[in-house]
Amino acid sequence: MKKVTCTAPVNIAVIKYWGKRNEKLILPINSSLSVTLHQDQLKTTTTVAASREFTEDRIWLNGKEDNINHPRLQSCLREIRRLARKRRSSGGHGGVSRILNDKVHICSVNNFPTAAGLASSAAGYACLVLYLSVYTLAKLYGVEGELSEIARQGSGSACRSMYGGFVQWLMGDRADGKDSLAQQVEAESHWPDLRILILVASAEKKHVGSTAGMQTSVETSPLLKFRAESVVPGRMEEMIEAIRKKDFEAFGQLTMKDSNQFHATCLDTYPPIFYLNQVSQRIISLVHRYNGHYGQTKVAYSFDAGPNAVIFTLEPTLNEFVEVVKRCFPPEANGDPYLKGLPVGPAPLSQELLSAVETDVCPGGICYMIVTQPGPGPAESADLSLDLLGPDGLPKPSA
Amino acid sequence: MKKVTCTAPVNIAVIKYWGKRNEKLILPINSSLSVTLHQDQLKTTTTVAASREFTEDRIWLNGKEDNINHPRLQSCLREIRRLARKRRSSGGHGGVSRILNDKVHICSVNNFPTAAGLASSAAGYACLVLYLSVYTLAKLYGVEGELSEIARQGSGSACRSMYGGFVQWLMGDRADGKDSLAQQVEAESHWPDLRILILVASAEKKHVGSTAGMQTSVETSPLLKFRAESVVPGRMEEMIEAIRKKDFEAFGQLTMKDSNQFHATCLDTYPPIFYLNQVSQRIISLVHRYNGHYGQTKVAYSFDAGPNAVIFTLEPTLNEFVEVVKRCFPPEANGDPYLKGLPVGPAPLSQELLSAVETDVCPGGICYMIVTQPGPGPAESADLSLDLLGPDGLPKPSA
């Protein structure tokens, strides 16, 4: 049995992707840009094993066996095996031929609850796993070089998790999608002060899945078409400029405007889609009150296809803003830790600040927060303890 | 003392007005179209009295004295007096000269709670009163002919209440606004089956006023500009066509899409504006589930700058849909009548329908409903009992 284990990060778009121009090739109607989150706080780990003993390809997600026959997964498996065969016949990697006809077992786990709504849904998570599986399979077969295109096909916005730091997914203009690729804009070390705070809202209902949602939006929203064609191109340039200059005022404002515009196009969809709930609306209002108090953009929000908020801020503001969130959304005493991730220190709040922000207190509105920062892209893990498959090729009890 | 009493209806836009191209003249960035509601259920009554005994102009709104020095009101008063003088000097109405230098008392009341959020806010109500005061003053001074332009200036969307039935407010293109006028599309008798249901949601907080809100939207929302220029012109034509043909499928769908797009532009505003709350979202979802069950558009919603829903439907659907709303938003037993306005009969609900629509029950989410239909425009009242000012020129105790 040959095994490889890799880890990959999740990413949060600050210029949003919503809508495909080609459903099959997953080609987007506009470019998008994201920040890769640090794997110390949020990562997906995938182990792929190949063995002559395996009788069929199998996949486990977070401890539960899943359907290996998913079309996207199948096409990725086919494509990567084709690539490996091509490589072998042209005299490449020696060890590959031995395992190319073996069935594979794929096992993937998150170190964060899916409730966090990152990789925004079960579907988003599946895409990330798919992408990471391809990445890991490529390592297994020794065909790393050409994986980016295969991984992108079938993974949608998860393709932006291919790099660390700040990553754009260029929409491209070719019909075959070969120029629709992820590209690093700046590395994770570029903006050391940047902090990211995930506020996990207490979700009360099922939301429209992003795949179905964006398809309906493309079909019905006149505003989405206009946004993709006439608004996003300029915003991509502005966002890259703001990141290059580490201009938080510009970065934060544009992040909030783009999140709002994405949700506006969801509302312009017929029937309309709502991802923001009352807690999301309160977080939005809190951020504007907080910034209003200081007369500058010190924190910014972004929301994906769910009610959870992602907050961007700079290190000097972190402690205070976390304290403000705690005041406005006091944790319910259920024993679960409210703060996860990077350490946060205490911060005294002035009476002026409190009266500026604390207009409505909503206990239990936020279940917990995860504090993180930009981080690196995927990597093969040398740490054998991370290996998810046991000697029998089945998930270890902990996986 | 000379007195005139007039009544005016409220109107509900099905193609929404949001944003001015000229703040001072109140010229809109797009045309809009509304349905005038029947005064039997919802009306504003205004009495204007002129007397040599009055020492100053005064105004009372819903029993409370208000500021007569509001710039819009002042400019309307000035303009209508100017018009009356002009008429007098050209040998017009005989009785006018006698009262032209008299001070006036204006008294106005609603027969519906402002909580109904119709004439969507206190500001909207003030506009309607302003418009109705001009209408009434014009009757008093005998200068009815030319009032439309004066009334429009200063009244915004209330200008659509000038006619019964289906009314468009043409945006016009002149800089002086002289071609920005209300015009009747069809009379109130045109679509006898049409019913309108106002669902008054329990409001929990103050909303951004529409005057300030639309100004911020014009300044910050790229989607609003696109909507006004590229979406609304086509929708106006489609809506007029749907009304002419009494095509409820087209009318209802477009009404919902335009309401959603208006709220989408509010969300694209920076900072974003939210008028729809959790109850509004549930009503939207209920309407789509109800229509989905029947495979056709049997009911349609529209929301203005507040959480209350306006539901359009046809007479044969009324009883059943009211019953559905009662099931999903059961009234809280506080003794207040839940159903106001036109009579509604009982309707048995099939198990299939119930299981299709009744996914979340939200007791108390709707305070009450008002059932009404399209109705006529403003009129002078011959009924002396409606007169709001007593012989002393002050509001009667009931006003």
Residues B266-318: pLDDT tens digits?
Answer: 999 999 999 999 899 999 999 999 999 999 999 999 999 888 899 999 999 99
Rounded Cα distance between B285 and A273, Å, is: 9
Chain B residues whose CB is inside 8 A of the A205 CB are: 360
Number of CB atoms found within 10 A of residue B383's CB? 9
What does the DSSP 8-state code read for residue B162? G
Number of residues written out for chain A? 399
How far off is chain A from B253, nearest CA to CA, in Å?
Answer: 9
- Residue A120, pLDDT score: 45
To 10 degrees, what angle do helices B248-267 and B232-244 make? Answer: 150
Residue A20 buriedness (CB in 10 A; 0-12 / 13-18 / 19+): middle
HEC assignment per residue over B86-117: HHHHCCCCCCHHHHCCCEEEEEEEECCCHHHC
CA B19, B21, B24, B25 torsion-angle sign: negative
Nearest CA to B226 out of B255, B276, B264, B254 is that of B264
- Residue B223, pLDDT score: 98
- Residue B53, pLDDT score: 92
Nearest CA to B28 out of B36, B39, B16, B37 is that of B16
C-beta separation of B301 from B310 below 8 A: yes
Report residues of chain B scoring pLDDT below 70.
Answer: 91-97, 113-126, 145-154, 203-207, 335, 399
Which helix (H) or strand (E) element contains residue B226? helix B222-226
Rounded Cα distance between A70 and A106, Å, is: 13
Chain A residues whose CB is inside 8 A of the B253 CB are: 270
Chain A residues whose CB is inside 8 A of the B264 CB are: 223, 264-265, 267-268
| Cα dist from A325 to A243, A253, A369, B5, whole Å | 26, 19, 9, 54
Rounded Cα distance between A80 and A141, Å, is: 8
**Phi, psi (5° rounding) for residue B195?**
-125, 150
Across-strand partners of B368? B200
Task: Give the contacts of A269 (CB within 8 A, at least 6 positions apart).
Answer: A213, A216, A217, A220, A221, A224, B260
Across-strand partners of A28? A20
Q: Which of B255, B268, B277, B288 to mutate to test the interface with A (most CBs of A within 10 A)?
A: B268
Beta-carbon contacts below 8 Å between A and B: 78
Tokens linked to A147: 């994986």
**Amino acid residing at A334:** N
Rounded Cα distance between B297 and B253, Å, is: 7
DSSP class per residue in A58-118: EEEETTEEE-TT-HHHHHHHHHHHHHHHHHHHTT--TTHHHHTTSEEEEEEEESS-GGG--
Q: Which of B206, B260, B280, B285 to mutate to test the interface with A (most CBs of A within 10 A)?
A: B260
Rounded Cα distance between A111 and A37, Å, is: 13
Nearest CA to B307 out of B257, B250, B266 is that of B266
DSSP class per residue in B297-351: --EEEEE-SSS-EEEEEEHHHHHHHHHHHHHHSPPPSSSS-SEEES--------H
Nearest CA to A269 out of A301, A300, A305 is that of A305
Which helix (H) or strand (E) element contains residue A210? helix A210-220
C-beta separation of B130 from B136 below 8 A: no
Nearest CA to B117 out of B368, B375, B299, B399 is that of B368
- Residue B217, pLDDT score: 97
- Residue A353, pLDDT score: 95
A270/B281 touch (CB, cutoff 8 Å), yes or no: no
Task: Walk me through the domains of chain B, giving residue ranges and CATH numbers.
Answer: 2-187+379-386 (3.30.230.10), 194-372 (3.30.70.890)
Q: Is B366 in a helix, a strand, or coil? A: strand
To 10 degrees, what angle do helices A278-294 and A315-328 make? Answer: 130
Mean pLDDT by 10 residues, chain A (399 residues): 90 96 92 96 90 92 86 81 79 63 89 60 64 81 69 75 94 91 95 96 70 94 98 98 98 98 98 93 96 98 92 98 94 81 94 88 90 95 88 87
Number of CB atoms found within 10 A of residue B44's CB? 28
Across-strand partners of A6? A46, A380
Rounded Cα distance between A219 and A65, Å, is: 34
- Residue B91, pLDDT score: 63
| Cα dist from A80 to A129, A136, A139, B118, B242, whole Å | 15, 11, 11, 62, 54
Q: What is the dihedral of CA B168, B173, B176, B180, to 10 degrees?
A: 0
How far off is chain A from B8, nearest CA to CA, in Å?
Answer: 33
Rounded Cα distance between B379 and A169, Å, is: 62
C-alpha of A230 from chain center: 25
Residue B271, preceding bond cis, omega within 30 degrees? yes
- With an 8 Å Cβ cutoff, the interface of chain A facing chain B consists of 205, 222-223, 226-227, 230-231, 253, 256-257, 260-261, 263-265, 267-272, 274, 276-278, 281, 284, 288, 360
- Residue A206, pLDDT score: 60
Which of B223, B271, B277 faces A288 most closely, judged by CB atoms? B271
